[in-house]
A and B are shown apart, each in its own frame.
Chain A
Amino acid sequence: MTKHLTLRTRTTAAGAVMELAGDLDHHTAPEVRDALPGLSLRPGGQLVLDLAGITFCDSSGITVLIAARNHAMAADAAMALAAVPERVARIFRIVGLDQVFPTYPTAQDAEGAWHIASG
Chain B
Amino acid sequence: MMCATGDPADSKGPAGDQGPADEDARFSELLEDSAEDLYERAPCGYLSTLLDGRIAKVNATLLDWLGYERGDLVGRRHFSDLLTVGGRLYHETHFAPLLRMQGEISGIALELKAADGSRLPVMVTSTVKTGSDGQPLLIRTTLFDARDRRAYERELLRARKEADLERDRLKLLNTTLQKTLLPPVPANVPGLDVAAHYHIASVDEVGGDFYDLFPLAAGTWGLFLGDVCGKGAAAAAVTSLARYTLRAAAVYNPDPAAVLNNLNTVLNHEYNGNDPRFCTVVFGLLTPDPQRGGFRITLASGGHPPALLMRADGTADYLPTPGGQLIGVLPDAHIATTTVHLAPGDTLLLHTDGLTEAHTTSAGGEDRYGDDALLDFGRGLAPTTASGTIGAVRDLLDSFGTGVDDDTAVLAIHVPRTTCEERQ
Contacts and interface: CB of A to CB of B under 8 A. Distances in A.
A binds B: yes
Interface of A: 1, 26, 33, 36, 55, 58-60, 62-63, 66-67, 70-71, 74, 93-97, 99-100
A1 B326 CA distance: 27
Contact of B276 (A63, A74, A100): A63
A96 B326 contact: yes
Interface string B131-170: 0000000000000000000000000000000000000000
Given A67-B273, A96-B303, 12 more contacts: A1-B359, A1-B405, A26-B231, A36-B274, A60-B229, A63-B277, A66-B278, A70-B273, A93-B322, A94-B303, A96-B325, A100-B330
Interface string B220-236: 00000001011100000
Interface string B321-342: 0111110011001100000000
A60 B274 CA distance: 13
B210 to A, nearest CB: 14
Interface residues of B, number: 31
B364 interface: yes
B40 interface: no
A41 to B, nearest CB: 14
Given A70-B274, A100-B325, A58 B280 contact: no
A93 B322 CA distance: 8
7 A-B pairs with least C-beta separation: A96-B325, A95-B303, A59-B229, A95-B326, A96-B303, A66-B276, A66-B329
B357 interface: yes
B230 A26 contact: yes
Contacts of A62: 229, 278, 326
B230 A63 contact: yes
Contacts of A74: 273
Given A94-B303, A97-B325, A58 B334 contact: no
B52 interface: no
B10 to A, nearest CB: 63
Contacts of A36: 274
Nearest to A93: B322
Interface of B: 227, 229-231, 272-278, 280, 302-305, 322-326, 329-330, 333-334, 357, 359, 364, 366, 405-406
Contacts of B275: 33, 67
A58 B406 contact: yes
A36 B275 CA distance: 12
B230 A95 contact: no
Contacts of A66: 276, 278, 329
A49 B366 CA distance: 24
A105 B175 CA distance: 45
B257 to A, nearest CB: 14
A33 B229 CA distance: 15
Nearest to A95: B303
A33 B325 contact: no
Contacts of A96: 302-303, 323-326, 333-334
A99 B325 contact: yes
A1 B278 CA distance: 25
Contact of A1 (B322, B357, B364): B364
Contacts of A95: 280, 303-304, 325-326
A59 B227 contact: yes
12 contacts: A26-B231, A58-B406, A59-B230, A62-B229, A66-B329, A67-B274, A70-B274, A94-B303, A94-B304, A95-B304, A96-B325, A99-B325
A88 B58 CA distance: 79
Contacts of B326: 62, 95-97
Given A63-B229, A63-B276, A67-B275, A58 B357 contact: yes
A36 B305 CA distance: 30
A70 B323 contact: no
Contacts of A71: 274
A107 to B, nearest CB: 23
Contacts of B405: 1
A78 B364 CA distance: 37
Nearest to A63: B229
A62 to B, nearest CB: 7
A97 B334 CA distance: 10
A93 B278 CA distance: 16
Query: Which of B230, B278, B323, B326 has the most chain A CB atoms closer than 10 A to its own CB?
Result: B326
A101 to B, nearest CB: 11
